[in-house]
């Protein structure tokens, strides 16, 4: 549902090498409190329900779970008014999903690979896992001894809409999900119409710079699916010409290869904390059409541009609206 596993691996390596972090930090106090693991008042099921997951497990879902761990699935949880008992992180809790931190303030972190002993320390009453690959080698059995454990499966996990719908089913919030999706689509259609008036058929590229290496966000991934899919923004020819194998994974792009980038606008997600002046002073970079026009827009690494989800998409649309809808 969120970033692909390959991108996650790149991100973890990048974080560990750069030792860069954001505002989240791990807390040793895992005791129940009024905020962590709670949900907003709403209609709830009167009894437990048994729902089959993607791996064939018949999982008993509590009627009103209060201490949920759904690592890297916090976007749909927060969208549904649910605060998890712990949130995804890398680099010993130093790096979290920055774009969700206003809603996840005070929620302690848990390591991205969910060590069972760490999971148990939070005393969850429901565990939701994205991919079956995350529960191999006895991990599912270990988690299920701690709390009911539901695996979404890759088909659902790779599609934020399907993930939100499934989370709505698990938490008995289907009506809320339908309303959220309707509102999202309405916002997208309105912005799409406005962009048609302001930038017309001008093309936009999304680049991620980390460890002095560029990556291109493709048409189906994170903010790419928002710009090219939801908003109908023109895809640069450069991106259309990339081999499908490169688009399916986070493949690095050299600065020399980037010389062919024909986009009219570039959104640059800059994760590097190292000195990058030599990159941006390079004649190849300076001669890109978008750079020459002053159409490069730097986005924080704490932004939602490398993530997928309803809230991530909404924040991307807000950024696009501020920058491109007023051209």
Each residue's pLDDT tens digit, 257-308 = 999 999 999 999 998 767 788 899 999 999 999 999 999 999 998 899 999 9
Could you tell me what percentage of the chain is helix, strand and coil, using 3-state DSSP and rounding each to the nearest 5?
Answer: 40, 15, 45
Q: State the Cα–Cα distance between residues 27 and 234, nearest whole angstrom.
A: 45
Q: Which residues pair with 156 in a beta bridge?
A: none
pLDDT in tens, 174-227: 999 999 999 999 999 999 999 999 999 999 999 999 988 999 998 888 999 999
> Is the Cβ–Cβ distance between 150 and 70 less than 8 Å?
no
Q: How far apart are CA 164 and CA 253, in angstroms?
A: 32
DSSP state of 132: G
Query: What pLDDT is stored for residue 240 in this prediction?
Result: 85
Structural domains in the chain, CATH included, are 30-172 (3.40.50.1980), 179-324 (3.40.50.1980)
Distance CA 225, CA 246 (A): 16
H-helix segments, 19-137? 74-79, 116-121
Q: What's the start-to-end Cα distance of the chain, in Å?
A: 32
CA distance 102 to 24: 11
Q: Pinpoint the alpha helices (H) of 43-113.
A: 74-79
pLDDT (mean) for 313-324: 98
* pLDDT exceeds cutoff 90 at 36: no
Tens-digit pLDDT profile for residues 212-270: 899 999 888 899 999 999 999 999 998 888 776 655 567 788 889 999 999 999 999 99
Instruction: Inform me whether the pLDDT recorded for 22 exceeds 80.
Output: no
Residue 33 above 60 pLDDT? no
Q: Which phi and psi angles does 135 have, rounded to 5°?
A: -125, 30
pLDDT at 65: 97
CA distance linking residue 127 with residue 70, whole number of Å: 6
Burial of 203: CB neighbours in 10 Å, binned 0-12, 13-18, 19+ = buried
| Helix axis angle, 310-324 to 160-170, nearest 10° | 140
The pair of structure tokens assigned to 313 is 């998409």
Contacts of 112-117 with CB under 8 Å at 24 or more apart are 112/8, 112/12, 112/71, 112/72, 112/88, 114/69, 114/71, 114/139, 114/143, 116/142, 116/143, 116/146
pLDDT tens for 59-114 read: 999 999 999 999 999 999 999 999 999 999 998 888 999 999 999 999 999 999 99
Check if the beta carbon of residue 252 is closer than 8 Å to that of residue 213: yes
pTM for the full predicted model: 0.85
């Amino acid at each position: 549902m969120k970033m692909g596993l390959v991108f996650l691996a790149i991100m973890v390596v990048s974080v560990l090498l750069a030792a860069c972090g954001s505002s989240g930090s791990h807390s040793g106090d895992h005791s129940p409190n009024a905020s962590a693991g709670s949900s907003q008042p709403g209609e709830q099921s009167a009894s437990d329900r048994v729902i089959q997951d993607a791996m064939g497990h018949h999982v008993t879902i509590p009627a009103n779970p209060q201490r949920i761990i759904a690592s890297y699935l916090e976007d749909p949880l927060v969208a549904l008014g649910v605060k998890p008992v712990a949130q995804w992180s890398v680099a010993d809790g130093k790096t979290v999903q920055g774009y969700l931190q206003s809603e996840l303030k005070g929620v302690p972190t848990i390591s991205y690979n969910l060590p069972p002993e760490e999971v148990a320390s939070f005393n969850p009453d429901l565990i939701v896992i994205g991919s079956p690959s995350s529960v191999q080698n006895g991990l599912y059995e270990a988690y299920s001894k701690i709390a009911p454990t539901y695996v979404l499966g890759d088909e659902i996990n790779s599609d934020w809409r399907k993930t939100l719908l499934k989370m709505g089913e698990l938490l008995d919030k289907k009506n809320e999900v339908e309303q959220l999706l309707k509102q999202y689509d309405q916002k997208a259609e309105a912005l799409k119409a406005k962009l048609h008036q302001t930038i017309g058929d001008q093309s936009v590229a999304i680049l991620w710079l980390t460890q002095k290496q560029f990556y291109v966000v493709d048409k189906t991934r994170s903010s790419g699916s928002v710009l090219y899919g939801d908003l109908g923004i023109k895809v640069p020819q450069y991106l259309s010409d990339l081999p499908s194998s490169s688009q399916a994974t986070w493949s690095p792009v050299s600065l020399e290869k980037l010389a062919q980038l024909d986009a009219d606008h570039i959104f640059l997600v800059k994760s590097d904390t190292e000195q990058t002046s030599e990159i941006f002073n390079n004649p190849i970079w300076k001669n890109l059409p978008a750079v020459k026009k002053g159409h490069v827009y730097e986005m924080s690494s704490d932004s939602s541009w490398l993530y997928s989800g309803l809230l991530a998409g909404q924040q991307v649309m807000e950024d696009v609206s501020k920058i491109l809808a007023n051209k």
